[in-house]
Amino acid sequence: MIEQTILDYLNDTLTEPCYMEEPEGIDTFVLLEKTGSSLSNHVYSATFAIQSYATSLYEAAELNEKVKAAMLTIAAELNTISKCSLNSDYKYTDTTKKRYRYQAVFDITHY
């Protein structure tokens, strides 16, 4: 499952923890969400939104940069992923919960 592959990779690569569900009681973390996928000629592609949470806007932006650096090297590190490209990234502060976060969206081709 591609979600588990990326979750494991980010947890092995980053010093901050990565989850698929928002944890309670943790201020700085990464949240992984698959927003879509497709299959063509036996090759899968998926779109992931990866959110970086922190206690300040600067720290959230800094964590977002770490996530981008890790994700842009994932294809070289894992043989099950053939391509990973950054679609977009932006400030995505959660105004409802008053938490700082950034979001990076990646398009991934995998087997």
Tell me which architecture the domain covering 2-110 has in CATH: 2-Layer Sandwich (3.30)
| Structure confidence by residue, pLDDT tens digits, 2-52 | 999 999 999 999 999 999 999 999 999 999 999 999 999 989 999 999 999
Q: What is the mean pLDDT of the chain?
A: 96
73-101: average pLDDT: 95
Mean pLDDT on 84-94: 96
Which residues, in sequence order, are bridge partners of residue 4?
A: none
3-state SS assignment for residue 86:
strand
What residues does each domain of the chain span? 2-110
- What predicted TM-score, i.e. pTM, was given to this entire model? 0.94
Mean pLDDT in residue range 79-97: 95
Provide φ and ψ at 67, rounded to 5°.
-60, -45
Whether the pLDDT of residue 111 is over 90: the answer is no
